Amino acid sequence: MASPESAVNGPTMTAGAASKSLRNAFGGVIAFIILVLIGVLAFSIRLFSVIKYESVIHEFDPYFNYRVTQFLSKNGIYDFWNWFDDRTWYPLGRVIGGTVYPGLTLTAGTIWKVVNSLNIPLSVETVCVFTAPIFSAFASWAAYLLTKEVKGPGAGLTAAALLAMVPSYISRSVAGSYDNEAVAIFALVFTFYLYIKTLNTGSLFYATLNALAYFYMVCSWGGYTFIINLIPMHVLLCIVTGRYSSRLYIAYAPLVVLGTLLASLVPVVGFNAVLTSEHFASFLVFIIIHVVALAYYIKGILSPKMFKVAVTLVVSAGLAVCCAVIAILIAVVASSPTKGWSGRSLTLLDPTYASKYIPIIASVSEHQPPTWPSYFMDINVLAFLVPAGIIACFMPLTDSSSFVILYIVTSVYFSGVMVRLMLVLAPAACILSGIALSEAFNVLTRSIKFQLPGIAGNPSIAVRMWCIMSTSKENGSSTVVAPNDIPKTEEAAKEKPAKKNRKKEKENVEKKPTPSKTEKRLLVLPLEASVIAVLLLVLLGAFYVVHCVWAAAEAYSAPSIVLTSHSNDGGLHVFDDFREAYSWLSHNTDVDDKVASWWDYGYQTTAMANRTVLVDNNTWNNTHIATVGTAMSSPEKQAWEIFHSLDVKYVLVVFGGVVGYPSDDINKFLWMVRIGGGVFPHIKEPDYLRDGQYRIDAQATPTMLNCLMYKLSYFRFVETDGKGFDRVRRTEIGKKHFKLTHFEEVFTTHHWMVRIYKLKPQRNRIRGKTKKSKSSRSVSSKRDVRGKRNPWH
């Protein structure tokens, strides 16, 4: 994958031919070894979860992917493609083949098949667990390639090393975290690399590869829209800044044509590749680049005077046509309520959109905006190195470095909107930090080398180096126009920036001796300062490594289905309640029984307990989720009606009040109310809040104390400690002693974290109304209530 080419460094160019090739070979071997080690590092730093816990699939979505992979490995690709899953979203079902990004599953399935055909009997689960670490090694190699294209192999190696252990990426790719992002980040970086490679070489071969890499990305993750918007942005930037070239055309046009064709082959994308607004930018730029290409062509064959006439003619005619087209486009787009954008994309453009209109997106914690500390936690010192990297990219500004700058700017914005997109930022931050570090080391080591007695052979090396920085302003104007007259051969293009700048600088040195002399004096760093700076940078790097290892070992290795806590005397306590509950379900309930729970636990229930669920983490049907939310926030009887109409047998709630597990259903409950109320307006959020405060103690509203979620969570809770003290909310609960009339508790796990209730069957008899007249009347008017409240009738 990452075959390191001969490491070409500035100073080696001036050395003799023999020593140059020898040093190149040596550098190549070193670089290769380093890359292998980086791969090993990337893989092994992600194994903490396996060592500390066990080789299991983590969290929620990975369980679904695991289940799909199992299906794929058992039934083959065609059945997977046509898989209609009747065990989820009951009774709607889900067409898995047409709604899933198949890249990850196909990748792991292929690995499993290859490994098994080699007679290495690995289970599907093992392959799934280790897919993410393997692909993070690939991703760091891709980062090496990309950065090498931008700033040379030194920066590439640094960036690869940084990416191998950046905590943000680790959080999504530890062993067991078998999610789309695990392969998608590799695909993202690799696609960018191939784009840059095509841009630098102008080779159709790489352009085709680029489209294929884009196809893999489309297969893997919905984040592919980032690529198909970022690359057009860059193309537009190049055109606007006058950097249009045939290489740019080759890099872009085939990508749009082939990429769109390939993307529409993925069932989940299909016609979206040409219909949704996310892809419009690429088509618009596609038109623009053709107009520009035509303009350049005409400019080439016409005399300047004729050209001017032609321009006025075309512009006046074109403007009229454009206005008409734009008017039609706007009308078409405006006619759709979301302006043609999907909810998730609108959330990116308007960060307040989700919280206003789509509670289901806003309710997911990874869709929240990140806090400042999370930047430090996730990219650590890179946050400080990125600005330096941006500056380094401006000296000199090339097509590829401008792309990297654009990448970091957009991804910083997106990461600010959603904490989940920090993952897109991480590679960009690593690349820029790699550039910054490598440039800084270049400068510092060279100034040390220059000033050290004995080695100081050719002072011009260092001087020239510094001139690159000092004269960047003058260079700026020359490099902008430069690309047009570059020979089209691959090698020349590759070495273009270095050579050209060097030429320019030599000219500068020769032509303007006096000013550059003074600059030289200023720019050579003193030896001591350089040494200290190098030490500080090494220290910075060491700090980064320590942080990354800590993050990998402590913060991001927990599989979240098994929890641990340390008691005061240092003992380790394991909470394995989730698997306890799921295995209870799989052993004690009928195969076709339906289990209702909040959607977070849907994937796990289908994968681990093999029971049908109403809603799961693929939140494609808001109404269905709202129905479950409504049931959870309704009084017991209405909830029973809703669940009964959906053939639900068991209700599963997660409760952390006994052990202090904060992400339980009571803490998520307001989202259930909001999502339910969004569709069924008789559920009103203020009914559950006392003076705008969410509380479950004696001050809580009666609606809150009587809703199903409260009752199922706190049923018999007072028996644990005698006074019903909730350790998550740190308060005594409001209603302690109550009975359930329509539900019965069938299972509660060891630490009370998962509680399973069964719906009682309908009463065999209907009571008369004498005595207890109130309660019996409400019982006997059951049918009326159903007619009114049940959303399904």
Partner 1 sequence: MAKLAIFFALTLSFLPFLSHSFSPDTPTDRRILVLLDDFSLKSSHSIFFTSLKSRGFDLEFKLADDPKLALQRYGQYLYDGLVLFAPSVERFGGALDVAAVLDFVDSGHDLIVAADTTASDLIKSVATECGVDFDEEPSAMVIDHQNYAVSDVDGDHTLIAADELINSDVILGKTKIEAPVLFKGIAHSLNAANTLALKVLSASPSAYSAHPTAKLSSPPSLTGSAISLVSVVQARNNARIMISGSLDLFSNRYMKSSVQKAGSPSKYEKSGNEQFVTELSKWLFHERGHLKAGNLRHVKVGETNEPAMYRIKDDLEFYVDIYEWSGNSWEPYVADDVQVQFYMMSPYVLKTLSTDKKGLYHTSFKVPDVYGVFQFKVEYQKLGYTSLSLSKQIPVRPFRHNEYERFITTAFPYYGASFTTMAGFFIFSVVYLYNK
Per CB under 8 A, 476 contacts partner 1:
no
> x/- binding map, residues 586-605, to partner 1, per CB under 8 A?
------x-------------
Q: Are 484 and 296 in contact (CB under 8 A)?
A: no
Nearer to partner 1, 276 or 776 (CB): 776
Closer to partner 1 by CB, 32 or 81: give it.
Answer: 81
Task: Read off the tokens for 173.
Answer: 């790719």
- Residue 781 Cβ vs partner 1, minimum distance, rounded to whole Å: 5
Q: Which helix (H) or strand (E) holds 712?
A: helix 708-714
CB 105 to partner 1: min, Å? 17
- For residue 459, say if its preceding peptide bond is cis, omega within 30 degrees of 0: no
Is residue 781 near partner 1 by the rule CB under 8 A? yes
Which CB atom, from 90 or from 138, has the smaller least distance to partner 1? 90
Based on the shown chain and the rule CB under 8 A, indicate whether residue 86 belongs to the binding site for partner 1.
yes
What is the three-state SS of 366-385? HHCCCCHHHHHHHHCCHHHH
CA separation for the pair 665, 272 (Å, rounded): 35
Sign of CA dihedral 127, 131, 133, 137: positive
Residue closer to partner 1 by CB (options 684, 788) is 788
- Smaller CB separation from partner 1, 573 or 763: 763
Note whether 249 binds partner 1 by CB under 8 A. no
The residue range among 203-211, 340-348, 557-565, 778-786 that interacts with partner 1, by the rule CB under 8 A, is: 778-786
Residue 450's Cβ-side half-sphere holds a number of Cα atoms within 13 Å equal to 25
**What are the CA-CA distances from residue 411 to residues 161, 405, 558 (Å)?**
20, 10, 27
Q: Is 84 in the site for partner 1 (CB under 8 A)?
A: yes
**Residue labelled with tokens 């919280």:** 355
CB of 78 to partner 1, least distance (A): 8
Closest to partner 1 by CB, 270 vs 662, is 270
| CB 96 to partner 1: min, Å | 11
Asked whether 631 and 691 are in contact (CB, 8 A), the reply is no
Q: Which of 645, 701, 706, 731 binds partner 1 (CB under 8 A)?
A: 645
Subset of residues 49 to 78 that bind partner 1, contact rule: CB under 8 A:
78
In the bound complex, what is the minimum distance in angstroms from residue 648's beta carbon to partner 1? 13
What's the CA gap between 348 and 418, in Å, rounded? 8
Query: What residues have CB less than 8 Å from 312, skipping those under 6 apart?
Result: none
Footprint (CB under 8 A) of partner 1, residues 605-624: 612
Judged by CB, which is closer to partner 1: 489, or 773?
773
Q: Figure out which of the listed residues 81, 286, 725, 747 binds partner 1, where binding follows CB under 8 A.
A: 81
Residue 477 in contact with partner 1, rule: CB under 8 A: no
Token pair belonging to 101: 């990004």
Residue 9 to residue 149: CA distance in whole angstroms: 13
The count of other CB atoms within 10 Å of the CB of residue 277 is 17
Near partner 1 in 93-122, by CB under 8 A: 93, 95
Nearest to 647 by CA among 596, 588, 706, 604: 596
Question: In whole angstroms, how close is the CB of 216 to partner 1 at the nearest point?
Answer: 21
Is residue 512 part of the contact set for partner 1 (CB under 8 A)?
A: no
Amino acid at 71: F
Give the shortest CB-785-to-partner 1 separation in angstroms: 11
Reference 183, options 115, 228, 133, 243; nearest CA is 133
Kindly state the number of chain residues that form the binding site for partner 1, as judged by CB under 8 A.
Answer: 30
276 near partner 1 (CB under 8 A): no
**Smallest distance from partner 1 to CB 2, Å:** 35
Largest CA distance in the chain: 111
CB of 211 to partner 1, least distance (A): 18
Closest CB to partner 1 among residues 750, 763: 763
Distance in Å, CB of 767 to partner 1, minimum: 6
Residue 237: CB minimum distance to partner 1, A: 31
> Of residues 14, 19, 82, 663, which one binds partner 1 by CB under 8 A?
82
Among candidate residues 146, 171, 172, the one with its CA nearest the CA of residue 159: 146
- The least CB distance from residue 586 to partner 1, in Å, is 19
Interface with partner 1 in residues 536-595 (CB under 8 A): 592
- Interface characters, 745-774, with partner 1 (x: CB under 8 A): -----------------xxxxxxxxxx---
Q: In this chain, which of 137, 425, 646, 707 binds partner 1, going by CB under 8 A?
A: 646
Which range of residues in 226-234, 568-576, 641-649, 746-754 is near partner 1 by CB under 8 A?
641-649
* CB of 168 vs partner 1, minimal distance in Å: 38
Rounded least distance, CB 780 to partner 1, Å: 5
Q: Is the peptide bond before 483 cis (omega within 30 degrees of 0)?
A: no
> If binding is defined by CB under 8 A, does position 92 make contact with partner 1?
yes
Nearest to 157 by CA among 172, 146, 173: 146
Contact 360, 440 (CB under 8 A): no
CA separation for the pair 402, 285 (Å, rounded): 17
> How far from each other are the two terminal CA atoms of the chain, in whole angstroms?
58
588 or 762: whose CB is closer to partner 1?
762
Q: Kindly tell me which of 271 and 792 has the beta carbon lying closer to partner 1.
A: 792
The least CB distance from residue 149 to partner 1, in Å, is 31
**Between 123 and 781, whose beta carbon lies closer to partner 1?**
781
Q: How far is the CB of 466 from partner 1 (least distance, A)?
A: 50
Helix 61-81 / helix 103-117 crossing angle, nearest 10 deg: 80
Asked if 462 and 524 touch (Cβ cutoff 8 Å), the reply is yes
Does residue 350 touch partner 1 according to CB under 8 A? no
Give DSSP secondary structure letters for 464-531: HHHHHHHTHHHHHHHHHHGGGG---SHHHHHHHHHHHHHHHHHHHHHH-HHHHHHHHHHHSPPHHHHH
CA distance 173 to 176: 8
| Distance of alpha carbon 326 from alpha carbon 588, whole angstroms | 62
Q: 725: exposed, middle or buried (C-beta count within 10 Å: 0-12, 13-18, 19+)?
A: middle
Q: Which stretch binds partner 1 (CB under 8 A): 15-23, 82-90, 100-108, 235-243?
A: 82-90
The residue (of 86 and 745) whose beta carbon lies closer to partner 1 is 86
Give yes or no for residue 784 binding partner 1 (CB under 8 A): yes
Distance CA 745, CA 760 (A): 10
List contacts with partner 1 (CB under 8 A): 78, 81-82, 84, 86, 90-93, 95, 592, 612, 645-647, 762-771, 780-781, 783-784, 792
